[in-house]
Amino acid sequence: MEGRAAGVTAPVPPVPSPVVRPAHPGDARYLPEIEVAAGERFREVGLDAVADDDVESVADFAALVAAERIWVVDPPEGDGDGVPVGYALVSDVGGHVHLDQLSVHPSHQGRGLGAALVEAVVRWAADRGAPSVTLTTFRDVPWNRPWYERRGFVVDPSASADPDLAHVAAWEAAHDFGSPRVWMRRTLGPAGGSAGGQ
């Protein structure tokens, strides 16, 4: 190996971290496209109804941004132009934090961006003193329940009876996508970590 000492490997450059931040008004116009693109993946598992479901308008997203309910993730530094490629939508009702939506554009999936968004929401919830973060998701879709389980969430049907989440329970009851859905919860411990060592 001419020009390289035997047994010495070249240093591996650090992998840039994704940038998660509160959404600003200019982000709203990109969010419907992210939701549509992410929804198309559900056709792979026969859930066309998810892909065909209504999408929030730019004006709707702008209102959610103004209400400080959306975080976005930008591509890692040096990859893209700062336009968001994923977002998380949350509700805080009575001190209870619910993750309403998590979407990452398919062209950027598999790179830890969704996980970075989840952890940002968890930290925010912990800072507000929330005891847990809840969500609803598809039980049998590989990138839904199993993905969240790897990030400290557990199936918790009792969450559906929480009065603060009645609006979520009503939405779930009104939508049948043809595949079982589950309630999940991540109980928060100190500094936003999961209680119980998860």
Angstrom distance (rounded) from CA 197 to CA 123: 16
Where would I find the beta strands (DSSP E) of 69-180?
70-74, 86-93, 96-104, 132-138, 154-155
CB 152 within 8 A of CB 194: yes
Q: For 19-197, which CATH class?
A: alpha beta
| Interval 108-149: pLDDT, tens | 998 899 999 999 999 999 999 999 999 999 999 999 999 999
Give, as one character, the DSSP assignment of residue 141: -
Q: What length does the chain have?
A: 198
**List of residues 6+ apart from 50 with CB closer than 8 A:** 39, 42, 177
Question: Residue 77's pLDDT band (boundaries 50, 70, 90)?
Answer: low
Beta bridge partners, 168, equal none
Angstrom distance (rounded) from CA 4 to CA 53: 57
**What is the residue-wise DSSP string for 82-100?**
S---EEEEEEEETTEEEEE
* Residues 50, 66, 34, 103, Cα dihedral to 10°: -60
**List of residues 6+ apart from 121 with CB closer than 8 A:** 71, 88, 90, 97, 99, 133
Model pTM score = 0.83
CB 90 within 8 A of CB 69: yes
Over 50: is that where the pLDDT of 4 sits? no
Identify the residue with better confidence: 117 or 195.
117
Q: At what angle do helices 58-66 and 31-40 cross, to 10 degrees?
A: 110
Instruction: Say what the pLDDT of residue 9 is.
Output: 53
Question: Residue 75's pLDDT band (boundaries 50, 70, 90)?
Answer: confident
